[in-house]
A and B are shown apart, each in its own frame.
Chain A
Amino acid sequence: MAHCLSCEKKAISSHPQLCADHFDEFFVQKVKDTIESYNLFSHQDRICVAVSGGKDSLALLDVLVRLKYNVEGLFIHEGISNYREASEEDLDIFIKERNIPVRKVTFLDEAGFTLDAAMETKKFHSCTLCGTLRRYLLNKYAQEYDVIATGHNLDDESQTVLINLARGNTNLFLRQGVSTHANEHFVRKVKPFSFLTEKQILTYIVLRKVRVDFAECPYARLSYRAQVRDLLNKYEQDHPGTKENVLQSYLAFHSTVERPEDEPEIQTCEQCGQAAGEKVCKACQLIKQVHNVMIQE
């Protein structure tokens, strides 16, 4: 039986090898360090947390409330049956206990269809559609905040580095980071969990006795990301520290590279009025395509 490296109690985690109390201390400190060393936000800022009802966003809300930040939630319901319903109940209990204001928006109300309905047409890629609409709704409803905080963790970030590298997405590659650059069109986005693994976040959730739904997104298995995740987890088990090394190598490299000058000119979407790369934004284009396909059927 392994002992905590900071005291005599039994370890409940191996990476780092700590007891329940010291793990909690480590976890909160890691978030605090990330916020402070990357200047993510201050106690004066109004922070919007993008909430999915899953463990990452609930853990983030929980830590930020404990650190006394001025935080509110935006819950985006994409409409996947048997996946979000359970999470939504857990979420209601969670926010009541902590008195956090949370606004709820749905794909159905905003775009006119659920993700399930759009996927039934078999014409759209689930993660592209879901991701585009989420970003669109987040930007739309987070305008009034100083910063948007998301629950992206070390697993997500190290996977993204490898995916962009393997696919040659150099433009996306250079944009990844712990914080996006501030700009007049979009609220800055930050990732306070960048240096914590999914496993550490789940450990925190269990120790804090937060109820979450453990269902996996039914569309996630289809993705390239799932393959990269399995590969990275195998490496991490055989060589602990791999995920952090991938992200840290990227960040070290990133800080030395100048940002590309040829960023597309920002226009205003003719249909929704949000910032867009073209006359009509990606989200409005996609929503129209989904409606067209659904009418034909």
Chain B
Amino acid sequence: MKIFIERTKETKQLDFNGTVQELLDTLGILYEDVLVLRDGSLITEDEEVSSTDSLTLLSVISGG
């Protein structure tokens, strides 16, 4: 799985199958702090993601 973290502009490669919530728990990120996109579309925390997915995490926190 490819994960692009917008805030730090870093790309992570991860072998992961499970829900978005489980993925964020693994990464130590609060669901409240990010939006998760798969192929440019927003997905919710109960959605299943797999190793072939390419995700983007947008940080909710920013300047006004």
Which residues of A pack against B, CB within 8 Å?
A: 1-2, 11-14, 17, 20, 52, 54-57, 83, 150-152, 156, 198-199, 202-203, 206-207, 212-217, 220, 229, 233-234, 236-237
- Which residues on A sit within 8 Å (CB–CB) of B3? none
Indicate if the CB atoms of B30 and A54 lie closer than 8 Å. no
Indicate if the CB atoms of B32 and A203 lie closer than 8 Å. no
- Which of A206, A215, A216 lies in contact with B35, CB distance below 8 A? A206
- Which of B31, B41, B45, B60 lies in contact with A202, CB distance below 8 A? B60
Residue-wise, chain B 24-64 has the 8 Å CB interface mask toward A (1 for contact) of 00000011110101000111111110000000001111111
Q: Would you give the shortest CB distance from B52 to chain A, in whole angstroms? A: 17
A52-B62 Cα distance, complex, nearest whole Å:
11
Q: Would you give the shortest CB distance from B25 to chain A, in whole angstroms? A: 11
Number of interface residues of B (CB under 8 A): 23
Q: How many A-B residue pairs have CB under 8 A?
A: 76
Indicate if the CB atoms of B44 and A2 lie closer than 8 Å. yes
Indicate if the CB atoms of B61 and A198 lie closer than 8 Å. yes
A selection of 12 A-B contacts at a CB cut-off of 8 Å is: A12-B43, A13-B44, A14-B45, A150-B64, A151-B64, A203-B42, A206-B35, A214-B6, A214-B62, A215-B7, A234-B30, A236-B32
Indicate if the CB atoms of B32 and A216 lie closer than 8 Å. no
A152-B35 Cα distance, complex, nearest whole Å:
19
- Which of B33, B35, B42, B45 lies in contact with A233, CB distance below 8 A? B33
Query: Which of B33, B41, B43, B61 has the most CB atoms of chain A within a 10 A radius of its CB?
Result: B61
Q: Would you give the shortest CB distance from B30 to chain A, in whole angstroms? A: 5
- Which of B41, B43, B59 lies in contact with A216, CB distance below 8 A? B59
